[in-house]
Amino acid sequence: MTKLNDYASFFNPGFFLEPAKTALVIIDMQYATACRETGLGKLLKERAQEELGVYRFDRIEKWVVPNISRLLQFFRSHGLRVIYITIGSQRPDYSDVAPYLKPLAEAVENTRGKPSHDILEELRPAGGEIVLNKVTMSAFNSSPIDSTLRSAGIEYLVLGGVSTNSCIEGTARDAADKGYRCVLAEDACAAASERLHQASIDNFRRLLGRVEQTGMIINELSKP
């Protein structure tokens, strides 16, 4: 691990967050795939495959929801930008969803107007906070996130949600390619397994951006 971190710091010297230019981006924290009792969690239970969701939902409940809540409280209390990203069809026939995502979207009824598409109650947006929907893994491929961020003067992103190795990494990779400076809140992200989560974290840290704990992010943004 030491050698990997040394390699990362050599090629990725880092940056400091500027609060006025930083947005919190919360990705796919919906009943479709971020709740043990609904959507994917319910589907796994019905198929007697609950063990496949143990790591994911344990981590979401123990770490992701509490730490996103901490970040939300900080960003809101300091008047900083918060943007929610959802995933799911905007059409009842799921014809607008990327083909590789369509089977899961159909299986958990993740389409506009269905309960699965809603954001978890514990993390629901406050008045005036922007919610953008996507139908691909990366928000930059199927939502107006880029124009939304640029019009607000945002240059730095703090990202959390699910899943680390798919929608979070995909969105953060595209953001980095477009010149945004990205920080993954490691303890505010979850994936289907520790292996998938850690692989994405290590890969992102290597060249693409920073990986920090929620407390460190809040402390950095609190500095004058």
Q: What is the pLDDT along the chain (224 residues), one digit of tens a residue?
A: 445 455 555 666 689 999 999 999 999 999 999 999 999 999 999 999 999 999 999 999 999 999 999 999 999 999 999 999 999 999 999 999 999 999 999 999 999 999 999 999 999 999 999 999 999 999 999 999 999 999 999 999 999 999 999 999 999 999 999 999 999 999 999 999 999 999 999 999 999 999 999 999 999 999 87
| pTM score | 0.94
Q: What domains sit in the chain, N to C, each tagged with a CATH number?
A: 2-222 (3.40.50.850)
Going through the chain in order, the beta strands assigned E by DSSP cover 22-27, 81-87, 130-134, 156-162, 181-190, 210-212
Using CA atoms, how far apart are residues 153 and 129, in angstroms rounded to an integer?
A: 16
Residue 167 confidence (pLDDT): 98
The first and second tokens of residue 54, run together, are 């143990």
Number of helical H runs and strand E runs in the chain: 10, 6
Residue 11 confidence (pLDDT): 67
